Structure formats: C-alpha cells, structure tokens
Structure 1
Amino acid sequence: MAGGRTDGRIERGNQTRRLILRRTVEIASVEGLEGLSLGRLAGELNLSKSGVFALFGSKEELQLATVRAAINVFLEQVVTPARRTPPGVARVWELCRLWLVYSEQRVFPGGCFFYSVSAEFDARPGPVHDTVVGAQVNWRAFVEQAITEGIEAGDIAADTDVTLLAFELIAFLELANGDSVLRDDSAVYRTATTAILRRLRAVATDPSSLPDVP
C-alpha cells in the first residue's frame, strides 16, 4: 500500500510538472525566459507556490527545464518526422518545410521558441545560455548532416559547401519566422519556401525531385 501511495504521488508530481512546462514554453516564446516566475505559474495554474518550488527549486532550474521541454517539442514537430524521409535532397527540403510549418502554425505562440530565447540569452553566460547554444548547435549540425547525406546519396552536387548551404537555409527559416512574428504577416512563409526551393534546386543533381517553386 505504501508503495502504491508513493507511486501515486510521483505520478501526480510528474503530471503537475508537465502541466507547468506546457505553460512555461508558451510564456517564454512570447515574453522570454525572464518572464517566468514560480509565483506567476502558481497563480495561473491554481497551484501552491511551495509545490511549484518543490518541483523546480529555483528560477534558473525552471528556465532550464523549459528549454529542455521546448527541445522535445521541436524534435517531435520537425526532426523526428523529417527522419521518415529517406536521406537525400528530399530530406533536406522536408526539414525546411516542417520547420516553416512549425513556425507558421505557432506551435509556440511566439513563433520559434529558440529564435526568441537566443536573442534574450545570446550575451548572458551561464547554464541557460549554454543549453540554448547546445540546442542551436545540434540543430545546425543536423541540417549539415542531412546535406552531407544528400551528397553521399548522389542527390546533391558533390562540390556543395555544406556549411554555407546550411547557413543559408537556416537564415531563410529564421528570417521568415522573425518577420512573421514582428509584422503578423504569413506571406513571408511563401517567400521563404520559394527561396529555399530555388537554392536546393540549384544544388540538386535532379531538380525535378523537388516540388515546383511556388
């Protein structure tokens, strides 16, 4: 019986933690990680402040947990689905397409979570900065890996500069996100789609394998 009660408390704690993190990623994508506070979350979610503190311990721990939760959402929305496409230029395009959908559909209310918090913590050293940087480094490395696999598959020209192409694609994505959030204009996603497809068709060994440029 004691074990059952303990398991029940642990599961309730886990459910509460998930509830809190669902809210913190929403807040942080709009207001930044500094917009988070244990007291605010307790009030909004009708929880005790001491209970929220017991789950996270400090504002920094809450911020770190929020970034990690956002990483998991990003993986579910973009990276994992893209992996279902065979390696090649089609996977690179699918990565970009899914990213644009993730931003345009406002999986996070403020657009791309990492675009928002990167600007907030870019010059602030510490564990939160390092975790955000790690997420960005991993994303760029994944895009570069997808391009490299496309070269190995013969889908992308062998002389393609992998680092430069990844930089260009990510720049198109982030500019679309930033402009859309700032100006509340979804047309920039169509512009980004056109730019990305044109760039990929320029390096594809078989441009017809990609969708037509809108």
Structure 2
Amino acid sequence: MKKMPARTYDRILDQGLEMLSVTGLSGVTFGALADAVGMSKSGLFAHFRSKEDIQRRLLGHADALVAAHVVAPAMAEPPGLPRLTALMRRWLGWTRRAGLGGGCPIASALFELDDLDGEVRAQVGAAEARSRALLATLAGEAVADGTFRPDTDIDQLVWELRGLYLGHHVSSRFAAEPLADQRAWTAFEALVERYRR
C-alpha cells in the first residue's frame, strides 16, 4: 500500500469525517469520498484496504477531535464536579464547535451498528466504553471530594449522563428542537442536585 502525502491524507480524513457526520457510516463509500476529495476511486483504493478501513480511520479521526475539543479542555478544570460539568458542557453539541456539518459520528454509529458485528462495531464499542470510563472517573472524583454522596451509584449516574447526551443528540439533530441545549442543561443540573451530598 502506497504512503500518501500527509496533506492529502489529512484532506481525505477531514472530508470523510464531514461526510460521516452528515450521512453516517453507510454514506461513506469509495465513490462518494473520491468525488468529495477530487480523486479517482482507484486512486483512493490504492491507499485504503477496504470501506471498513476508511470507516475505522474516520472514526479514529472523530475520536481525536473529541479528545481535542471536549476532553482536553475539560481535564484542564479542577477535579470533581467542575471537570465533569466542563466535560458535559463541551460534549453537548461538540460537532458544531469542531466545525462539522452534522452530528456526532460515534453517536450515530451506535444506532447504525447496534445489530451488526465486525471491526468497525468493535471500534465504536471501544470508544463508547472509554467515554463511560471517563464519566465514571470524573463522577468518582466528585464522590471523593465530598460533592456527591458517598453512596452514589456511579454506574447509574454514568448511564443517565449517557442518556442525556444521546437524548440531546436526537433532539438537536433529528428533531431540530430549538431548546435542546437548554433542556439538556436543565436535566444535567437536576441530575447533579440529586447526587449532591
């Protein structure tokens, strides 16, 4: 497999991620991506082994954007509730701030791949597991510093935070609910109050 120039590779990833954000995994084909980046289909095929290879690399690119736009800034906040709050504030609607024209590629892939098997599904599952683990860590910090009750069910809290994120995604993207951000934040604040010491 030929090694392509970094600029070409980055352009393919950026354009492909934009497509993935708007059309989902099923919309990212060799033909559509080649057209979007101005390459021949065979030229693109020379650099990627398969459609699944492209999808996996694009999902990795999405992960990198989440790390840069959501996780890293949140982790700069003090541990505990400030960090958890910063993470949720940045996570809700992160694709707009990252310059993508559609929704979260990982969130949409959770629904698109829920009944399928394979390496792409495994990669999405790993990303989802990492997000749950991060939420659990930050919630655990809030328990450790006394903000949340010592009997806080962290697994339940994480489940509710994930539900809040996915609910916001559907409400803001699919339903175009103008109050999606406000309602999500009201739900987050109510959830925090329920777990406060």
TM-score clears 0.5? yes
Q: Alpha-carbon deviations, 1:59-107, whole Å to 9, x = none?
A: 1101111111111111111111110011111111111111114155474
- The CA distance in 1 between the partners of 2:18 and 2:36, in whole Å, is 13
Which residues of 2 match residues 65-84 of structure 1 at below 5 A? Answer: 65-84=57-76
Structure 1 unpaired stretches of 5+: 1-8, 206-214
- Scaled by the length of structure 2, what TM-score is found? 0.92
SS of alignment partner, residue 5 of structure 2: helix
Residue in structure 1 matching 2:110, options 112, 118, 126: 118
- Scaled by the length of structure 1, what TM-score is found? 0.85
Structure 2 unpaired stretches of 5+: none
Shifted more, 172-181 versus 12-21: the winner is 12-21
Residue in structure 1 matching 2:30, options 20, 24, 38: 38
- The CA distance in 2 between the partners of 1:99 and 1:43, in whole Å, is 31
Deviation at 1:142, TM superposition (A): 0.5
Code of the aligned partner of 1:74: V
Between the aligned residues of both structures, percent identity stands at: 31
Shifted more, 145-154 versus 47-56: the winner is 47-56
Q: Does 1:109 align with 2:101?
A: yes
Structure 2 equivalent of residue 6 of structure 1: none
- The CA distance in 2 between the partners of 1:44 and 1:97, in whole Å, is 32
Q: Does 1:163 align with 2:139?
A: no
Residue in structure 2 matching 1:57, options 49, 53, 76: 49
Count of matched residue positions in the alignment of Structure 1 and Structure 2: 196
Q: Does 1:16 align with 2:8?
A: yes
- The CA distance in 2 between the partners of 1:42 and 1:51, in whole Å, is 8
Does the aligned pair in 2 maintain the 1:77–1:98 contact within 8 Å? yes
Deviation at 1:136, TM superposition (A): 0.4
- The CA distance in 1 between the partners of 2:98 and 2:171, in whole Å, is 14
Instruction: Report the aligned-residue RMSD.
Output: 1.8
Code of the aligned partner of 2:57: A
Distance 1:175 1:103, change over 3 A: farther
Does the aligned pair in 2 maintain the 1:104–1:189 contact within 8 Å? no
